[in-house]
Amino acid sequence: MNKYKKEMIYHISSIIYTSIFLIVSTYLWFYVKDFNIYKDIQDKNIIVSENIEFNSLSQVSDKDINKIESYNFDIQNISDTKQDIKISIVSDMLTDNVSNNYVKYMINNRSIHSLNTDGIIYIDDIDTNETKTINLKIWLSETYLGNLNYNGRVIVS
């Protein structure tokens, strides 16, 4: 009976350790894959002043966007050559399936656009030692009828 108990304890503890390992490794894999990969995308010659992340976007009409908060950040080229930059909006895994045509944005108080399928909102180049200031407003269209829980981030590459 004593040997049986030892074997049972050994098997149960093996199952518990294996389960904990699987849970922790799966969590870390998703965390690293979903969030930290964006840091690798960013160019080493480009410095971005803020990491822009958002959730639960406001739902407003295009004429009322002055009521929503702006995301402001600077992009600086620290290389010896002119660099191409691309700014994208990427939704995270936890976001419900919101069609991009309901996600609206405006950069530097210019025209209003709907997010396209690839999420790219701005393409430009930046000279050596130049800094560009970006003022971004992002919101959900007033015609959207789903969940407002749109989580995402801005990626500069």
Residues 21 and 5 in one domain: yes
Predicted model pTM:
0.67
Residues 50 and 102 in one domain: yes
Residues 37 and 49 in one domain: no
Element (H, E) at 150: none
Q: Which ranges constitute the DSSP H helices of the chain? A: 2-31, 37-41
Q: In DSSP terms, which residues pair with 87 in a beta bridge? A: 122, 156
Residues 74 and 140 in one domain: yes
Residues 53 and 79 in one domain: yes
- pLDDT, one tens digit per residue, over 96-142 is 567 777 889 999 988 999 888 888 899 988 898 889 999 999 888 88
- CATH of residue 103: 2.60.40
Residues 49 and 87 in one domain: yes
pLDDT of residue 62: 86
- Structural domain tally of the chain? 2
Full domain range(s) for residue 63? 45-156
pLDDT over 70 at 34, yes or no:
no
In whole angstroms, give the CA distance from residue 55 to residue 154.
Answer: 12
Residues 70 and 115 in one domain: yes
Residues 54 and 12 in one domain: no
Residues 80 and 105 in one domain: yes
In whole angstroms, give the CA distance from residue 22 to residue 37.
Answer: 21
Residues 104 and 141 in one domain: yes
Tell me the average pLDDT across 20-28: 80
- pLDDT, one tens digit per residue, over 43-96 is 567 778 778 887 778 888 888 888 888 889 898 988 888 888 898 888 776 565
